[in-house]
């Protein structure tokens, strides 16, 4: 199977789960954000330079599909997350075992949630920090990021290094 | 970790691009419309497939309750049929009275059917995207209902071919409501710290009963009077001295919305 077909399949699967399945699994106003999970995984495997394109494209997509009237909040947050997670994986948690990956997931998800809230507050949108929602979001997304990370590592690591 | 000049340039271009998009809402509106056009068939397909898959598992999980549910539904059906015949009779009387009083039906709203072609994709946003926009005469603050009709929300953002609907489950949404039998008025909104929808400002002396219907009161000048919102699920008396908090079970299943109606005044 060619790499392009693999990428199309990957993006379709992500969209299907994000749009069709996960909204039914909502707990405390939150459900897994597979776009963020895959961005963190790509950042760890391929580094910032490989994940920035995914951050810009998916960020624009999220901006258009949000109620915010300002475009760019999610692009900026995902780009920052991309840098943050690749920085952590290359400088702080260098060992590539599950135990060193989990803190990167947890910290980046918290960083993402806080940066979205921060930017929304700066632009005058309603932004309330709900601890229970944040904690659920962190646990929920971390659980989903682990299999996504290994799926991307197994199928796309070679392609990510080549880009 | 070093970032090369190339990526610094990309960041600058991106920032300029985003500022440009925000300074010219017409261009960003055009782009949004284009993206919605491209992705809405895919998203609609994924939403419907997801609903079917989840529905299948829900049926499997509820097989043991099907017999009891069937008996309940048959009984309910009989009650509804009786109510329907009463309503038909009332409608006929109403028509005669209208004619006698020389009333026209100009206030009857028009319903524009629309498909749900997208929804919030990160959770917590509580809005949907429908395939009707300014080209179909949809305007901001038009009211959206589902079959029944039960209240869904109001139009929040309008593009050429698409509109975003702010659901009544969104924390930004407030609906003036009335308890059908008791005629107690209040405001329907979402709990700040929880996930429930409640009716506030219902006086303590009122005694709302579980299962009573809650409808729109029309006092907010957005939602027309008489649209079903839901039923009373429980009553919380512990709030404060003056008012009680009435928890509402909404009539609309927002996870399975596929088609809605936009109410447009004639």
Strands B110-119 and B143-146, sheet pairing: unpaired
β-pair type (B163-167, B197-203): unpaired
The answer to whether the CB atoms of A66 and B157 lie below 8 A apart is: no
Collapsing DSSP to helix, strand or coil, B117 comes out as: strand
Task: Calculate the average pLDDT of chain B.
Answer: 83
How far apart (Å, rounded) are the C-alpha atoms in residues B58 and B47? 16
**B16 and chain A in contact, CB less than 8 A:** no
Beta carbons within 8 Å of B218's beta carbon, 6+ residues apart: B176, B224, B225, B226
B47 reaches A (C-beta below 8 A)? yes
Q: Give B215's strand partners.
A: B178, B228
Q: Provide the pLDDT for residue A163.
A: 43
The domain ranges of chain A are 3-162
Chain B contact set for A72 (CB, 8 A): 18, 21-22
Strands of B29-162 (E only): list them. 110-119, 127-130, 143-146, 150-158
What pLDDT digit, counting tens, does each position of B218-263 carry?
A: 888 888 888 899 999 888 776 566 778 889 999 888 877 888 999 8
Please report the residues numbered 74 through 133 in chain B whose beta carbons come closer than 8 angstroms to any beta carbon of chain A.
Answer: 118-125, 127, 129
Q: Please judge whether B14 and A28 are an interchain contact, meaning their C-beta atoms are less than 8 angstroms apart.
A: no
Section B63-91 average pLDDT: 82
pLDDT band for position A158 (cuts 50, 70, 90): low
Q: Tell me how close the Cα of A41 comes to any Cα of chain B, in angstroms.
A: 18
Given a cut of 50, whether residue B160 has pLDDT beyond it is yes
Pick from B50, B54, B156: which is nearest to A67 by CB? B156
Joined together, the tokens standing for residue B74 give 């048959």
Residue B256 CB burial class (10 angstroms; 0-12, 13-18, ≥19): middle
Contacts B129 to A, Cβ<8 Å: 65
Phi, psi of B258 (to 5 degrees): -125, -30
Q: Do the chains contact at B49 and A16, CB–CB below 8 Å?
A: yes
Helix or strand holding residue B51 (H, E): helix B25-61
CATH architecture of B108-266: Beta Barrel (2.40)
Element (H, E) at B97: helix B66-101
pLDDT digits (tens, 9 = 90+) for B176-231: 999 888 788 889 988 876 678 888 888 877 788 888 899 998 888 888 888 899 99
Query: Is the domain A3-162 a CATH 1.10.1760 member?
Result: yes
Could you report the per-residue pLDDT of A88-136, keeping only the tens digit for each?
888 888 766 777 888 899 999 999 999 998 988 888 877 778 788 888 8
What is the per-residue DSSP string for B55-68?
Answer: HHHHHHHTGGGHHH
3-class SS shares of chain B: helix, strand, coil, % to 5:
40, 30, 35
Q: Do B162 and B117 form a contact (C-beta atoms < 8 A)?
A: yes
Closest partner residue to A65 (CB to CB) among B3, B21, B121 is: B121
Classify strands B228-236 and B185-190 as parallel, antiparallel or unpaired. Answer: unpaired
Exposed/middle/buried for A23, CB within 10 Å: 0-12, 13-18, 19+?
buried
ipTM over 0.95: no
Pairwise CA distance, residues A47 & A89, whole Å: 9
- Cβ partners under 8 Å of residue B131, min gap 6: B40, B114, B115, B117, B161, B162
Query: For residue A70, how many other CB atoms are within 10 A of its CB?
Result: 17
């Amino acid at each position: 199977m060619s790499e392009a077909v693999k990428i199309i399949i990957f993006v379709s699967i992500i969209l299907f789960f994000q749009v069709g399945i996960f909204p039914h699994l909502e707990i405390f106003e939150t459900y897994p954000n597979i776009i963020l999970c895959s961005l963190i995984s790509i950042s760890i495997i391929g580094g910032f330079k490989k994940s920035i394109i995914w951050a810009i494209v998916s960020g624009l997509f999220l901006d258009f599909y949000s109620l915010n009237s300002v475009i760019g909040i999610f692009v900026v947050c995902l780009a920052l997350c991309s840098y943050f997670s690749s920085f952590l994986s290359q400088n702080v948690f260098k060992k590539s075992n599950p135990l060193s990956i989990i803190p990167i997931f947890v910290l980046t998800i918290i960083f993402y949630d806080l940066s979205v809230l921060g930017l929304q507050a700066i632009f005058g949108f309603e932004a309330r920090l709900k601890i229970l929602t944040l904690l659920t979001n962190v646990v929920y997304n971390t659980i989903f990021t682990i299999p996504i990370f290994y799926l991307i590592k197994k199928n796309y690591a070679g392609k990510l290094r080549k880009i | 970790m070093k970032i090369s000049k190339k990526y610094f340039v990309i960041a600058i271009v991106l920032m300029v691009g985003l500022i440009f998009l925000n300074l010219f809402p017409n261009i960003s509106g055009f782009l949004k419309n284009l993206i919605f056009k491209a992705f809405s068939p895919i998203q609609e397909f994924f939403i419907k497939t997801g609903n079917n898959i989840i529905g299948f598992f829900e049926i499997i999980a509820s097989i043991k309750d099907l017999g009891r549910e069937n008996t309940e539904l048959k009984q309910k059906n009989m009650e509804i049929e009786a109510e329907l015949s009463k309503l038909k009779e009332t409608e006929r009387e109403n028509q005669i009275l209208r004619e006698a009083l020389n009333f026209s039906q100009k206030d009857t709203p028009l319903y524009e059917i629309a498909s749900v072609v997208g929804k919030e994709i990160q959770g917590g946003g509580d809005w949907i995207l429908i395939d009707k926009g300014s080209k179909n005469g949809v305007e901001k603050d038009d009211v959206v209902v589902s079959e029944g009709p039960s209240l869904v929300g109001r139009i929040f953002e309008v593009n050429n071919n698409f509109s975003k609907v702010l659901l009544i489950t969104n924390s930004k949404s407030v609906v003036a409501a009335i308890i059908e039998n008791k005629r107690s008025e209040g405001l329907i909104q979402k709990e700040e710290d929880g996930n429930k929808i409640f009716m506030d400002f219902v006086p303590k002396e009122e005694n709302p009963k579980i299962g009573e219907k809650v409808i729109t009161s029309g006092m907010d000048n957005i939602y027309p009077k008489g649209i079903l919102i839901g039923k009373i699920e429980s009553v919380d008396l512990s709030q404060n001295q003056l008012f009680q908090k009435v928890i509402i079970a909404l009539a609309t299943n927002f996870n399975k919305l596929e088609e809605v109606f936009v109410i447009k005044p004639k």
